[in-house]
Structure 1
């Protein structure tokens, strides 16, 4: 069975990828190509991954006793493109 930290790292990776695909492929295709199908296709999975990321970040932060500054950085990473990858590299990989 996967540890909580491993599960969070996987969700963070998937959330980051889904966000990049949504922002840099689906949204431009929607507005420049007048084709909303990719936003519809990627929107729900990204939303679910985003919610899972937030919930797991709070749970993991409590378990690993992150200070508030660290937790806030991890939570903010969920809304910045590519930031979940930095969180994984700088924080989570070191604690694994």
Structure 2
């Protein structure tokens, strides 16, 4: 008995797209808070606590963003360059919001 042929196109992504969208927004909001609130508080307000807390949270959430993005990229068959650009979007303020819209349009 032969196995069915695999299609070369994207496969259904199911829950992966909403999960990616959630983590893209969480990562984006965390990075915006870090860059535009916590870092100024550290250097202008002499209070390093927001940077320590928000920075650590953003780091952990960015790791989850990487995993979720890679799972979606594999399922939706992103090119390696596109997947890398989407991953890097989590390190540039506001870029994860733009990437989320592009990924959503591409997958849908």
| Equivalent residue for 1:4, pick from 4, 16, 20 | 16
Partner of 1:59: 71
Please identify which structure carries the higher helix content.
1
Runs (5+) with no aligned partner, structure 1: none
| Equivalent residue for 1:69, pick from 62, 81, 86 | 81
CA offset at residue 93 of structure 1?
4.1
SS in 2 for 1:39: helix
Partner of 1:84: 96
Q: 2: distance between equivalents of 1:28 and 1:34?
A: 9
Contact 2:89–2:96 under 8 Å retained in 1: yes
| Equivalent residue for 2:43, pick from 31, 38, 47 | 31
1:49 aligns with 2:89: no
The TM-score, its normalising length taken from structure 1, stands at 0.90
1:40 aligns with 2:69: no
The TM-score, its normalising length taken from structure 2, stands at 0.81
Aligned residue pairs: how many? 95
Runs (5+) with no aligned partner, structure 2: 1-13
Give runs of ≥4 in structure 1 deviating > 3 Å.
Answer: none
